Amino acid sequence: ADLDVELTADIDLADLDETEKENFRINSFSGVFDGKNHVVKNFQSDGSLFGSMSGTLRNLTVEGTITNHKATDTLGGVVGQNSGRVENCVNKVKITCTDAGNGSVAAPYCRVGGISGINSGIIERCVNEGDIELTGRYVGGIAGNNGGEISQCENRANIDCTVGTDTHPADIGGIAAITSNVIRYCRNSGALVGEYVEKQGSQISTVLSVGGIVGSGCKTVYGNYSEGSISLDKSAGEDRLVKHIGAVVGQGWDTDYPGRKMELYGNYYLAGIRSEDCPQGVGTWEEDEENAVISVADAAKLTEQDIWNLNSGCGYVAGEGIWALSGGELAYAGDGGAAVYKVSVSPELRDYVRLEHGSETCEEGYAYVSGKQKFRIVIKKDGYTFKKLAINGENESDSAEGRNAYRLICAGGYDVSVDAELDGTKPVSDCKKAIEAIGTVTNRNERAVRDARRAYDELFESDRQELGDAADTLAEAERASAFLKRVSVTLKETVYTSDGQGKEPEAEVYVSDPNGQTEKKLLAAGKDYTVSYENNIRPGTATAVVTFVGDYASPGKYLVDFTISQPKQDNTDQNKPDQGSTGQDKPDNGQPQPDNGSRETDIRSASIVMKKSYTHTGKALTPAMTVKLGDTVLKAGEDYTAAYKNNKEPGTATVTVSGTGKYSGTAETIFIIKAAKGKTYTVGSLEYKVTKANAAKGTVSVSGVKRKTVKSVSVPEKVKIGNYSYTVTAIGSNAFKNCKSLQKAAIGKNVKQIGSGAFYGDKKLKTITVKGKSLSGVGKNALKGIADKAVVKVPSSKLVSYKKLFKNKGQAKTVKVRK
């Protein structure tokens, strides 16, 4: 498709059935796709979201799973095959490409990457957070096979590759499995695991190349950093497994591909965390060859030969520039004749400011510059200014206050340390004003909602807490705006002639499926919506106001205009107006008016002003409100009464205002009741205690079960309480204690803690499956009394560490922890 696409909201595929999820893919795309930092959630397929990308993809996050047991050629968390440009994208898709259970290699030629399976284009500023498990040949944190350019990317995920009895080599790389072009300024922090599975009686050898940045390849690899561990499973086939293991590159291709040398320079790895298979010194290039990779931690021990390697790129031309030592640390100087100094920003400020010198931007918070270079400290977001700035402990507030950047010069003969305090008063105030400016959400003020979101995104995370309820108001406004985009309204009459009577055309209201997959649904008047009218008596433009109620209750209103025209003039004498008439009995504002006290005023178009979210107390909530009809503020009890519905438990509550006295009709609005921190709620078969009450980042722990007779439990990744989803991060103490019938338990991937006595006395419990890789603690006697032959299943990459976590937790010695 050659289209320009912009996402205006997140896309959640959770409610689609399996077939619909599988078909939610774009086979080929050649236009510009801008995700606008939105997220495609719950993606589940056997292939990539974008099969082939020859255009531009930017600013998109993808979450979900890809499971493939076929010999698929290319798989990427975001793109299968990229020949265009992919930038500022984040992959959180877990990829599993393994055998189908029959012992055969599922995908011996499969190229798998966290971002793209094959890259012949450009990938910039992308991050992979999706773990990869592969039985096959090529797997990289960013790309399986790189023939293009990869720049400023990061892999944070773990990679587990199993090599079968195949004569073809296999490659694992923190950034790319194999490369024939450029990889620069990238970082790997994920663990790399290589496993060799030998077929019974086979005498075939295989080659396994593993590198913190690149498994194997040629051309240029520079400016990269790896801190992820590398390990091999020696359980089978050790004598026929040829290993090339490198902290940065596993194997260079210079021998096999004459004239295509591997140029390594300016790369780093974190010393001291390698396995016994990976040398503690420099990363390998080819056996017994020199290389240009050094350990920053051991920089003070560098020899002249090491420095020469760095500056010459392993003996080959590696670009201009001089590397030297400054204060025991490796430094880069733009010209070799100048002294080198380190400029650093205090660690707590590095998420907020950046350093710039020359054409370089140093996001990591420090830079090595020559004494002749100028550089700047710049606040990363607009609207913020320096409240104070200290250079080497000396206050520079007089010259820095009220500015968003400060220029320094490193000419004093010493390293420079920068500390600062930022002023976020203005951006926080501007954000609150933008949210307040939304008012009532309608189909006509979508821009105000977008402006408020933009102002919110321009705040640092720490300052968003200053918004209070305004953050929840924005979230509700965005939900209402997204709902209104699915609505269409048709009036049966759109043109009337004025006759002094109010005009009220009937409306047909339709709403489409969130994913646009089904036909629009016709809503029922009175049950799903009500209609009020504005300026519907006098000639001019009148408006029908659709308010949604019942199952479709929303604070948003849909507005549709219609026309009231002037009546035709009749100039006969009997129709001429009485010359003495003052016209004072005419309505003066187009709204229904009292007529000498005999007519009542309809309040259907009244506005109801109140807070839009409240915290659950366990009691029915009846919040205060202000009801206005035009410029008139109505009086409670005298002009209206208020009735509340669903106003006790977390969720959406409804307020119905009914006119009394000289007012008639009704108007409705809603408000949200949020779960309260420390309270316990039952969802499905489990009970959850709220540990962090936050609309966007709330967390809960499992505190118990609804019935002790449950036979199986599944702790989810997230749970919805009322209107919000909460991440399940823990299983509380004694949560499943004495569930005598419990046989199976699955623990979601977000659980970090299992409390003491969690499964105490569950004598029939035979299987516990741990899905996540972030479990950090298991309490005392958590497994005491479970079945003697029970099995705790854990991710293969966590087998060693999880065995330690579950050790001596009260279980019998016959209980096994295995992958």
For residue range 499-538, list pLDDT tens digits in order. 888 999 999 999 998 876 677 899 999 999 999 999 998 8
b vs e for 320-357, b when ≥16 Cβ sit within 10 Å of the residue's Cβ?
eebbbebeeebbbbbeeeebbbbbbbeeebbebbbbbb
Q: Give the residue carrying structure tokens 């990457």.
A: 113
Q: In this predicted structure, what is the pLDDT of residue 241?
A: 61
Q: In this predicted structure, what is the pLDDT of residue 643?
A: 92
Q: In this predicted structure, what is the pLDDT of residue 137?
A: 79
Smallest CA-to-CA distance from 485 within 513, 506, 518, 522 is with 513
CA–CA separation, 139 vs 160, rounded Å? 9
pLDDT higher than threshold 80 for residue 735? yes
E-assigned strands of 327-483?
A: 329-333, 340-345, 353-357, 360-362, 366-370, 374-379, 385-391, 394-395, 405-409, 416-423
Interval 465-478 mean pLDDT: 88
CA–CA separation, 812 vs 533, rounded Å? 73
Comparison of pLDDT for 736 and 238, the residue scoring more: 736
Q: In this predicted structure, what is the pLDDT of residue 584?
A: 42
Interval 490-505 mean pLDDT: 91
Q: In this predicted structure, what is the pLDDT of residue 65?
A: 94
* Band of pLDDT at residue 217, cut at 50, 70 and 90: confident
The token pair that represents 131 in the structure block: 């773990």
Interval 350-368 mean pLDDT: 73
Contacts for 675-684: CB closer than 8 Å, 24+ residues apart: 675/616, 675/650, 675/721, 675/722, 675/724, 675/726, 676/615, 676/616, 676/617, 679/616, 679/618, 680/704, 681/650, 681/721, 682/706, 683/719, 683/720, 683/721
Number of H helices, E strands in the chain: 8, 73
Smallest CA-to-CA distance from 192 within 204, 206, 175 is with 175
Comparing 280-294, 434-448, 639-653, 725-739, the range with the smallest average pLDDT is 280-294
Q: In this predicted structure, what is the pLDDT of residue 255?
A: 45
Interval 358-378 mean pLDDT: 67
Interval 783-792 mean pLDDT: 95
Q: In this predicted structure, what is the pLDDT of residue 415?
A: 66
pLDDT higher than threshold 60 for residue 599? no
DSSP character for 442? B
Confirm if 688 and 700 have CB atoms less than 8 A apart: yes
**Number of CB atoms found within 10 A of residue 45's CB:** 20
Give the H or E element holding residue 670. Answer: strand 666-674
Q: In this predicted structure, what is the pLDDT of residue 189?
A: 84
The token pair that represents 67 in the structure block: 């499971």
Interval 24-30 mean pLDDT: 91
Given the candidates 3.80.10.10, 3.20.10.10, 3.40.50.10490, 2.30.40.10, the CATH classification of the domain at 685-818 is 3.80.10.10
Q: In this predicted structure, what is the pLDDT of residue 379?
A: 87
Q: In this predicted structure, what is the pLDDT of residue 320?
A: 35
Given the candidates 2.60.40, 1.10.8, 1.10.3860, 1.10.10, the CATH classification of the domain at 598-674 is 2.60.40
* Band of pLDDT at residue 291, cut at 50, 70 and 90: very low
Give the H or E element holding residue 116. Answer: strand 116-119
pLDDT higher than threshold 60 for residue 622? yes
Taking the CA atoms of residue 614, residue 618, residue 620 and residue 621 in that order, the dihedral angle to the nearest 10 degrees is -20
Q: In this predicted structure, what is the pLDDT of residue 352?
A: 87
DSSP character for 94? E
Smallest CA-to-CA distance from 78 within 152, 147, 19, 153 is with 153
Comparing 209-218, 421-430, 797-806, the range with the smallest average pLDDT is 209-218
CATH top-level class of 4-298 = mainly beta
* Band of pLDDT at residue 341, cut at 50, 70 and 90: low
Comparison of pLDDT for 560 and 400, the residue scoring more: 560
Q: In this predicted structure, what is the pLDDT of residue 315?
A: 26
Q: In this predicted structure, what is the pLDDT of residue 318?
A: 28
The token pair that represents 680 in the structure block: 């316990």
**Overall fold of domain 486-569:** Immunoglobulin-like (2.60.40)
Interval 585-593 mean pLDDT: 45
Comparing 30-44, 217-231, 449-463, 510-524, the range with the smallest average pLDDT is 217-231
Smallest CA-to-CA distance from 611 within 624, 598, 593 is with 624
Interval 216-230 mean pLDDT: 77
* Band of pLDDT at residue 360, cut at 50, 70 and 90: low
pLDDT higher than threshold 80 for residue 443? yes
Q: Which amino acid is at 468?
A: G
Q: In this predicted structure, what is the pLDDT of residue 59?
A: 93
What are the boundaries of each domain within the chain? 4-298, 341-423, 426-484, 486-569, 598-674, 685-818
pLDDT higher than threshold 90 for residue 703? yes
CA–CA separation, 488 vs 498, rounded Å? 27
Separation of CA 218 from chain center: 34
Q: In this predicted structure, what is the pLDDT of residue 408?
A: 64
Helix, strand, coil % in the chain, rounded to nearest 5: 10, 40, 45
pLDDT higher than threshold 90 for residue 159? yes
**Number of CB atoms found within 10 A of residue 218's CB:** 20
The token pair that represents 101 in the structure block: 């259970």
Taking the CA atoms of residue 449, residue 453, residue 456 and residue 457 in that order, the dihedral angle to the nearest 10 degrees is -170
Interval 716-745 mean pLDDT: 93
High-pLDDT (> 70) share of the chain, %: 75
Do 598-674 and 4-298 fall under one CATH topology? no
Q: Give the residue carrying structure tokens 């801190």.
A: 227
Interval 163-186 mean pLDDT: 81
| Pairing, β 149-151 against β 122-124 | parallel
Comparison of pLDDT for 269 and 90, the residue scoring more: 90
Distances (CA, A) of 695 to 40, 467, 469, 713, 723: 19, 13, 10, 26, 9
pLDDT higher than threshold 80 for residue 648? yes
Comparing 260-274, 308-322, 338-352, 393-407, the range with the smallest average pLDDT is 308-322
Q: Give the residue carrying structure tokens 């056996």.
A: 287
pLDDT higher than threshold 70 for residue 539? yes
Q: In this predicted structure, what is the pLDDT of residue 452?
A: 94
pLDDT higher than threshold 70 for residue 239? no
The alpha helices in 414-555, defined as continuous H runs, are 425-436, 446-457, 461-464, 469-484
* Band of pLDDT at residue 290, cut at 50, 70 and 90: very low
CA–CA separation, 708 vs 240, rounded Å? 53
pLDDT higher than threshold 70 for residue 754? yes
pLDDT higher than threshold 50 for residue 298? no
